[in-house]
Amino acid sequence: MMTDPWDRFFAAVAEEIPEALQLRRQLHRAPCISGEEGPTRDLVLQALGSPEWDPVADTGGLVRIGPSDGPAIALRAELDALPILEETGAAFASTNGAMHACGHDVHIAAAVAVARAAQRVALPVALLLILQPREEAYPSGARDICESGLLEQHGVREVFGAHVHPRVPAGGIAIGEGAVNAAADEFGIAVRGIGGHAAYPHHARDPIVALAAVIGAMQMILNRRIDPMHPAVLSFGTIHAGSAANVIPSEARARGSMRTMHPRDRAFLHTEIPRVASEVAAAHGCSAEVEIISGEPVLYNHPEMSRSLMRALEGRAVRVVEPMRSCGADDFSYYTERLPGVMMFVGVARSEHEPALHTSAFLPGDEAVSDIAMAYAISVRTAFGIGVGAGSGAEAA
Q: So what's the pLDDT on residue 386?
A: 79
Q: State the Cα–Cα distance between residues 327 and 181, nearest whole angstrom.
A: 5
**Do 67 and 125 form a contact (C-beta atoms < 8 A)?**
yes
Per-residue confidence at 385, pLDDT binned at 50, 70, 90? confident
Q: Is the pLDDT of residue 396 over 50?
A: no
- Segment 209-239, tens digit of pLDDT: 999 999 999 999 999 999 999 999 999 999 9
Residue intervals of the chain classified under CATH 3.30.70.360 are: 183-293
**Do 211 and 241 form a contact (C-beta atoms < 8 A)?**
yes
Binding site for Mn(2+), by residue number, is 102, 104, 136, 163, 358
Thinking of the domain 183-293, which architecture would CATH place it in?
Answer: 2-Layer Sandwich (3.30)
Residue intervals of the chain classified under CATH 3.40.630.10 are: 5-180+298-396
Distance of CA 249 to the CA centre of its chain: 38
Per-residue confidence at 389, pLDDT binned at 50, 70, 90? low
Q: Looking at domain 5-180+298-396, which of 3.40.50.2300, 3.40.630.10, 3.40.630.30, 3.90.420.10 is its CATH number?
A: 3.40.630.10
Cα-Cα-Cα-Cα dihedral sign, residues 272, 273, 278, 279: positive
CA atoms within 13 A on the CB side of 286: 31
Binding site, by residue number, is 102, 104, 136, 163, 358
- Segment 270-326, tens digit of pLDDT: 999 999 999 999 999 999 999 999 999 999 999 999 999 999 999 999 999 999 999
Of 302, 391, 313, nearest in space to 71 by CA = 391
- Segment 184-193, tens digit of pLDDT: 999 999 999 9
More confident residue, 327 or 397: 327
Give the CA distances from residue 43 to residues 112, 130, 246, in Å, rounded to whole numbers and listed in that order. 11, 14, 54
Alpha carbon distance, N-terminus to C-terminus of the chain: 40
Stated length of the chain: 397
Q: So what's the pLDDT on residue 374?
A: 98
- Segment 56-98, tens digit of pLDDT: 999 999 999 999 999 999 999 999 999 999 999 999 999 999 9
**Do 40 and 133 form a contact (C-beta atoms < 8 A)?**
no
β-strand pairing of 247-248 with 196-197: antiparallel
**Do 355 and 361 form a contact (C-beta atoms < 8 A)?**
yes
**1-5: average pLDDT:** 74
Q: Is the pLDDT of residue 337 over 90?
A: yes
Q: What is the residue type of 283? A: A
Per-residue confidence at 397, pLDDT binned at 50, 70, 90? very low
Q: Is the pLDDT of residue 3 over 90?
A: no
Cα-Cα-Cα-Cα dihedral sign, residues 298, 302, 303, 306: negative
Beta carbons within 8 Å of 282's beta carbon, 6+ residues apart: 288
Phi, psi of 283 (to 5 degrees): -65, -20
Of 202, 190, 207, nearest in space to 249 by CA = 207
* % of the chain with per-residue pLDDT over 90: 95
- Segment 357-376, tens digit of pLDDT: 999 999 999 999 999 999 99
**What residues form DSSP beta bridges with 328?**
none
Per-residue confidence at 2, pLDDT binned at 50, 70, 90? low
Per-residue confidence at 388, pLDDT binned at 50, 70, 90? low
